Amino acid sequence: MSPALVARREEKGFSTRAVHVGSDPDGATNAVIQPISLSTTFKQDAVGVHKGYEYGRSGNPNRDSLERLLASLEAGGAEAIAFSSGSAATATIIQSLGPNSHIVSVSDVYGGTFRYMNRVAAANQGLETTFVDLENASEDEVVAAIRENTKLIWIESPTNPTLKLIDIRRIADIAHTHASAPLVLVDNTFLSPYWSSPLLNGADIVMHSLTKYINGHSDVIMGAAIIPPHRSDVADKLRFLQNAIGAVPSPYDCWLAQRGAKTLQLRMKTHGQNALAVANASQGLGGLSKSPK
């Protein structure tokens, strides 16, 4: 998607995009809610001649609709890739780095990500990870952690579960001016696209566990990666690996996640208002150790 198309798309408000993008009326019936396409195989009019779908692992109408929505909601996004879980997205992204690569990761990264880096990728692709307190590290300390084979800097902000806040723009500027030029990934699960836009702050990849806020109904396990227009090479590599590995979500889960995302703004706005009320009450009471009367 061109930057001009991205800009025009984002003229619409967040909630409008959440409701409408990827939710065009069904062409056959004009139903405003898309049907669930469970077919694994699609008829071809001739060899290689079809309507954009040939096998369910390689593409599905419900997955395409969800991906269009996710790319729209993540400001600065051009392409989204939906995965069968956040862990599947993590594994595919790390595998895309190739053998004997190095990652600089925020020190208190999500436990499942830490496990994959240290116990799976380290053993199977010779990956090394340096864990750095990116909230408090100086520029010199960040630069010192980057090696010639550093392919990725992995950020969560806030981190899971200690809620450290990372200056994404600062880390992205360091990475992109370094000779190794590592990609910068931000796991944006905790804030969602409503509260945070890492791509606008220099990130090259944003990932989510859609299981959490974007779906919002505790009935879907799914992940996603969203890529900006200038990193189409990254999107192509991830989509190729996803198809080869088979880390794809089911059509029904895609349909559910798209339904859930329609209310993302309402839910996240209320979460924020409630959190602010708790913080204000806590401050007024001198801390949570005191109980309100």
Active site amino acids = 57, 110, 187, 212
CA distances for 234 relative to 79, 88, 104, 198, 239, angstroms:
10, 16, 18, 16, 9
Q: Which of 220, 226, 225, 227 has its CA nearest to residue 249?
A: 220
On whether the CB atoms of residues 255 and 99 are closer than 8 A, the answer is no
Query: What count of other Cβ atoms lies within 10 Å of the Cβ of residue 144?
Result: 13
As to burial, measured by CB atoms within 10 angstroms (0-12 exposed, 13-18 middle, 19+ buried), residue 184 is: buried
On whether the CB atoms of residues 51 and 77 are closer than 8 A, the answer is no
Alpha carbon 207 to its chain centroid, in Å, reads 2
How does 193-214 read in b/e, with b if 16+ C-beta sit within 10 Å?
bbebbbbebbbbbbbbbbbbbb
State the greatest distance between any 2 C-alpha atoms of the chain, in Å, as a whole number.
74
